[in-house]
Amino acid sequence: MSDSISDNLDYHQELMNAAYARWRERRGSYEEFIGSLNGSKEVAVLVGNLNYQVGNGGFEQWHFNEYSDCSEDLIRVLETMKEECPLAKKALSLVREALEIIEEEKEVCESDYYYYEDDENDAWDLAEQERQSILGGLDSLGRQYYDFDDAFMVQVELYLRRMDGLEIPQSTLDENKEILEMGKEIPEQEPGPKKPKVKLTGTNGNAFAIMAKVSRALRQVGCSHDYIEDYRKEAMSGSYDNLLAVSCRYADVR
């Protein structure tokens, strides 16, 4: 019998089954459910749901099925895992990028332009186009996740077994050695004030569209979440002229 576990993720599933059986007895919201968990069950459910949702419909499905409501818990868990489970670092990076995109989409939906839809509302059309463009970024993140999801689940399975003190045969570790090494070569991202090139064609002078375009460009060149948030706060702190001036300071606007 093979010691490979890539097709036999039993313990992870056992933990999820036990957690959900408990939830069915108590009911309550998903947030309450997650709040009631700890240890390996919390890890199993949060990471398992991330994998299932993204695997079936990308980060957009993970968000619109409201699993992103517990994103802070997921980030905390992935942060804890990343030393022993190297691909958790890559998953963590994708989750954070997805949340930034989701926040951009939320800002569009909450803008004045988005509240008034009619056949002659060009501003609404532009806002909707921008929203769809923003959500397109989630598709790219999903494709990146598919590149390592199977290996990630193997690492998670072994992580959970170690977490609960279960013995793992050396033969299992040897057979999965290559998978267990995956992700270790990924360097920590160094956030920094990089200045991307941004063309404002297609924004029609729409302040929100300009800010979204610059934010997306900053993210694409590796700027940190805090750095992008600083840009947004400064850009929204004054007039339209202020928005343009701040955008030119953070990006090479053309």
Query: Confidence band (pLDDT; 50, 70, 90) for 9?
Result: low
Is there a single domain that holds both residue 63 and residue 115? Answer: yes
pLDDT > 90: what percent of the chain? 34
- % helix, strand, coil for the chain, step of 5: 70, 0, 30
Query: Confidence band (pLDDT; 50, 70, 90) for 46?
Result: very high
Q: How far apart are CA 184 and CA 87, in angstroms?
A: 8
pLDDT tens-place string over residues 145-184:
999 999 999 999 999 999 999 988 888 888 888 888 888 7
Mean predicted confidence (pLDDT) in 35-61: 94
Query: Confidence band (pLDDT; 50, 70, 90) for 121?
Result: low
Is there a single domain that holds both residue 120 and residue 207? Answer: no
* Cβ-Cβ contacts under 8 Å for 55 (sequence gap 6 or more): 145, 146, 149
Is there a single domain that holds both residue 76 and residue 138? Answer: yes
Query: Confidence band (pLDDT; 50, 70, 90) for 3?
Result: very low
Q: How far apart are CA 149 and CA 90, in angstroms?
A: 10
Classified as helix, coil or strand, 197 is: strand
Which residues, in sequence order, are bridge partners of residue 253? 198
Which residues, in sequence order, are bridge partners of residue 198? 253
Is there a single domain that holds both residue 89 and residue 120? Answer: yes
Q: Which of 188, 208, 236 corresponds to the end of one domain?
A: 188
Most confident of 59-73, 98-112, 222-236: 59-73
Residue 2 included in any domain? no
Mean predicted confidence (pLDDT) in 206-231: 83
Query: Confidence band (pLDDT; 50, 70, 90) for 52?
Result: very high
Please provide the average confidence, as pLDDT, over all residues in the chain.
Answer: 82
Residue 38 included in any domain? yes
Containing H/E element for 253? strand 252-253
pLDDT score at 186: 47
Query: Does position 242 have pLDDT exceeding 90, yes or no?
Result: no
Residue 78 included in any domain? yes
pTM: 0.67
Is there a single domain that holds both residue 182 and residue 203? Answer: no
User: Which pair of structure tokens corresponds to residue 106?
Assistant: 């939320």
CB atoms within 10 A of CB 26: 9
Q: How far apart are CA 117 and CA 65, in angstroms?
A: 25
pLDDT score at 206: 79
What is 120-179 written as a DSSP string? T-HHHHHHHHHHHHHHHHHHHHHHHHHTTHHHHHHHHHHHHHHHTT----HHHHHHTHHH
Is there a single domain that holds both residue 86 and residue 29? Answer: yes
pLDDT score at 232: 85
Is there a single domain that holds both residue 34 and residue 67? Answer: yes
Query: Confidence band (pLDDT; 50, 70, 90) for 2?
Result: very low
Residue 100 included in any domain? yes
Q: Which of 170, 188, 206 corresponds to the end of one domain?
A: 188
Classified as helix, coil or strand, 37 is: coil
Is there a single domain that holds both residue 22 and residue 134? Answer: yes
Is there a single domain that holds both residue 92 and residue 141? Answer: yes
Is there a single domain that holds both residue 134 and residue 181? Answer: yes
Query: Confidence band (pLDDT; 50, 70, 90) for 94?
Result: very high
Residue 4 included in any domain? no
Residue 229 included in any domain? yes
| Structural domains of the chain, count | 2
Lowest average pLDDT, out of 21-25, 233-237, 247-251, goes to: 21-25
Cα separations (Å) of 135 from 101, 102, 203? 7, 7, 17
Is there a single domain that holds both residue 172 and residue 193? Answer: no
What is 219-239 written as a DSSP string? HHTT--HHHHHHHHHHHTSS-
Lowest average pLDDT, out of 116-125, 190-199, 209-218, goes to: 116-125
CB atoms within 10 A of CB 170: 9
Is there a single domain that holds both residue 97 and residue 216? Answer: no
Q: How far apart are CA 52 and CA 137, in angstroms?
A: 19
Q: Which of 188, 215, 244 corresponds to the end of one domain?
A: 188
pLDDT score at 1: 30
Domain of 142 in residue numbering reads as 10-188
User: Which pair of structure tokens corresponds to residue 9?
Assistant: 């993720």
Query: Confidence band (pLDDT; 50, 70, 90) for 34?
Result: very high
pLDDT score at 126: 60
